[in-house]
Amino acid sequence: MIDRPTESWRRLGTRPETFLARVDRALHAFEAELTAADITSDEAVMAAVEHVVVALNDVDGTDGADFDTIDREELCEYIDRALRGAGVDVEALARRQGLDPAALTDRWRDW
Task: Count the Cβ atoms, other than its own, within 10 Å of residue 26.
Answer: 22
CA dihedral 9, 15, 19, 24 (to 10 degrees): 10
**Which residues are CB-contacts of 38 (< 8 A; sequence separation ≥ 6)?**
44
According to the model, what pLDDT value does residue 99 have?
97
- Return contacts of 61-69, CB within 8 angstroms, 24+ apart: 62/18, 62/19, 62/22, 63/15, 63/16, 63/18, 63/19, 63/22, 64/16, 64/19, 65/15, 65/16, 65/19, 66/111, 67/111
According to the model, what pLDDT value does residue 1 have?
61
pLDDT in tens, 70-92: 999 999 999 999 999 999 999 99
Domain boundaries, the chain: 5-103
pLDDT at 111 over 80: yes
pLDDT in tens, 34-84: 999 999 999 999 999 999 999 999 999 999 999 999 999 999 999 999 999
pLDDT in tens, 24-36: 999 999 999 999 9
Q: Which amino acid is at 30?
A: F
Of the pLDDT bands very low, low, confident and very high (cuts 50, 70, 90), residue 98 is very high
Q: How far is CA 78 from CA 17, 52, 63, 89, in A?
A: 20, 11, 22, 15
Question: Do 26 and 59 form a contact (C-beta atoms < 8 A)?
Answer: yes
Q: What is the mean pLDDT of residues 87-111?
A: 97
Q: What is the pTM of this model?
A: 0.95
